[in-house]
Amino acid sequence: MTGRSTTIQEYRIINATLRDDGRGRIERARHLPPEAFTEVSCATLWRRMLALPRNKSPEHALIGCGVHMGDLDTIRGAGFSVATFDDEVELVREAWAGKVYSALAEDFKHGRISIAEMREKFDAITAKPADSVLSDVIGRRIAASSPPPEPIPRFYLAGKPIATPGNLVSLIAKAKSGKTAAIGGILASAVASAVGRDGVDTLGFTASNPEGGALILIDTEQSMFDAYECYMRALHRAGQDEDPPWLCAYGLAGYAPDRLHAALQLVIEHAASAHPRIFAVVLDGVADFVADVNDIKESNALVADLHRLAIEYNCPIICVIHSNEGEKAGPDGRGHLGKQLARKSESNLLLVKDGDITTITSEKQRKAPITKADGIAFRWSDEEGRHVSCSPGFSMKEEARRAELADLAAEVFGTDSRLTWSELKRRIAAARGMKGKEPDKRITKMKEMGVIKGPSIGGYERVA
């Protein structure tokens, strides 16, 4: 309990909390009273943040706060570290407790309170909260009376949200299937949005980053020169030649897993202190963060830690991973790591190359699925010197299958423009003598291949 200054820590606590849309830091430090801050501006903002309803982000405390703009600039320039946030809170709290003790001791010295009263008051004022885990859990209680802020998606594909703050996203592809091009499309969509360029071919991806939040790319697979060329290709796709200050790309090929973990934490912390917020993180080569993709303990720990970072920094983390090789291999990413990512990810973007055309779908996702019928595909263009969007196209086998489903749709719809799900199922079952779940599977396949669309008001509609 020393009298050392805690001004820097106070600024960093407020700065870190203002940048946390998820409100986790408010709940973790709720036991810190406004009186513990020696800086008036910090005490004012902390008091206002503690009083906010749960559906308001910490930045709402700035509205009408009366804090001088110069003080706000000082707070924002102080930086912060998520790793040391709890320690800095305790340092400020202990410094305040020391001052409280000194004041009570002075009252005791002059006979204003007894030793018992002194101890009772000190314990009551400075009592630590219950177990920090329990405190954090209570802060995350779900209740109808206190809805959390609805997150705004950071990226869309085919106009459908694929990456919202606090979530993981998997991007799965076999080698040489165009995953680097897809990453370029993701980066270019954010750059094009920031500079107000419309009509840019970003391979179906769109984004909005008006506040200039940091977009971090960590490439663990390519040489520095190859990574640089892909980075420049993404900038040129958006019509730019210069680095956006918020686009932070790093080539870390050759780093061991432990060093990658440390680098990721430090890169995010550095970007968070230099920019309004973390917009998104892209890990091109997430498998390099583990020594063995089939090690259950190691893979689960990595996915949990990435999810923690996504929540802590209120951003999506896009994890790029190769799919299993071989003709009979499924669509999941490599090993147990790929399966665990698929389970925990908000979206699972699957890139499949057929001939020279790569198609992107995402049927394993929490919101509206992205199917082949959405038409997201690209191919290499010698003329453009990069990949360009194109029609998805179907293989000969798929074309035959689609023609068969189109004939079935024509038969069951007849002259009707729309059919309810139950009626469509009944007619398919009757037309093909199907039982059980077979008609449901046929409806799903018809949707995937763009033969029908829906459901919407009135049911399903046949695509001409």
Residues 350 and 289 in one domain: yes
Query: Does the structure show a pLDDT above 70 at 2?
Result: no
Q: What are 111-133's pLDDT values in tens digits?
A: 888 888 888 877 777 666 555 56
What is the mean pLDDT of the segment spanning 45-73?
Answer: 88
Query: Does the structure show a pLDDT above 90 at 206?
Result: yes
Residues 162 and 67 in one domain: no
Q: Is residue 145 situated within a structural domain?
A: no
Q: What are 268-289's pLDDT values in tens digits?
A: 989 988 888 899 999 999 999 9
Residues 183 and 74 in one domain: no
Query: Which has the higher per-residue pLDDT, 55 or 311?
Result: 311
- Return the structure tokens found at 165: 């703050």
Residues 183 and 325 in one domain: yes
Q: What is the pLDDT of residue 237?
A: 95
Q: Is residue 2 situated within a structural domain?
A: no
CA distance linking residue 272 with residue 84, whole number of Å: 14
Residues 109 and 163 in one domain: no
Q: ∠ CA 103-107-111 to the nearest 5 degrees?
A: 165
Nearest to 29 by CA among 74, 42, 151: 42
Pinpoint the alpha helices (H) of 127-223: 132-139, 179-195
Q: How confident is the model at residue 422 (pLDDT cuts 50, 70, 90)?
A: very high
For 331-368, give the DSSP string.
Answer: SSBSHHHHHHHHHHEEEEEEEEEETTEEEEEB-SSSSS
CA distance linking residue 261 with residue 250, whole number of Å: 14
What is the mean pLDDT of the segment spanning 226-245?
Answer: 95
User: Three-state DSSP class for 321?
Assistant: strand
User: Looking at residue 164, which CATH number applies to its domain?
Assistant: 3.40.50.300
Please say whether the beta carbons of 233 and 298 come within 8 A: no
Nearest to 253 by CA among 290, 205, 285, 213: 285
Residues 224 and 343 in one domain: yes
- Return the structure tokens found at 9: 């820590």
Residues 239 and 376 in one domain: yes
Q: What is the pLDDT of residue 395?
A: 61
Q: Is residue 369 situated within a structural domain?
A: yes
Q: Which of the listed residues 329, 354, 389 is the one where a domain comes to its end?
A: 389
Cα torsion for 235, 237, 240, 246, to the nearest 10°?
-40
Q: What is the pLDDT of residue 124?
A: 72
- Return the structure tokens found at 26: 């408010």
Residues 432 and 360 in one domain: no
Q: Is residue 146 situated within a structural domain?
A: no
Q: Which domain holds residue 419?
A: 396-462
Please state which of the ranges 15-19, 299-303, 343-347 shows the lowest mean pLDDT: 15-19
Residues 362 and 432 in one domain: no
Q: Is residue 449 situated within a structural domain?
A: yes
Q: Is residue 150 situated within a structural domain?
A: no
Please say whether the beta carbons of 357 and 379 come within 8 A: yes
Q: Which of the listed residues 389, 410, 434 is the one where a domain comes to its end?
A: 389
- As a whole number, the mean pLDDT across the chain is 89
Residues 34 and 57 in one domain: yes
Residues 268 and 213 in one domain: yes
Strand order in the sheet with 205-207: 160-163, 155-157, 205-207
Point out which residues pair with 321 in neighbouring strands. Answer: 172
Nearest to 288 by CA among 317, 253, 263: 253
Residues 248 and 132 in one domain: no
CA distance linking residue 285 with residue 333, whole number of Å: 11
Q: Is residue 75 situated within a structural domain?
A: yes
| DSSP, res 131 | -
Number of domains within the chain: 3
Q: Which of the listed residues 371, 389, 407 is the one where a domain comes to its end?
A: 389
Query: Does the structure show a pLDDT above 60 at 337?
Result: yes
- Return the structure tokens found at 333: 């990413």
CA distance linking residue 394 with residue 139, whole number of Å: 50
Q: What are 237-255's pLDDT values in tens digits?
A: 999 999 999 999 999 999 9
Contacts of 248 (CB under 8 A, 6+ apart): 214, 215, 216, 217, 267, 271
Q: Is residue 239 situated within a structural domain?
A: yes
Q: What are 295-314's pLDDT values in tens digits?
A: 999 999 999 999 999 998 99
Q: How confident is the model at residue 262 (pLDDT cuts 50, 70, 90)?
A: very high
User: Looking at residue 29, which CATH number applies to its domain?
Assistant: 1.10.860.10
Q: What is the pLDDT of residue 294?
A: 95
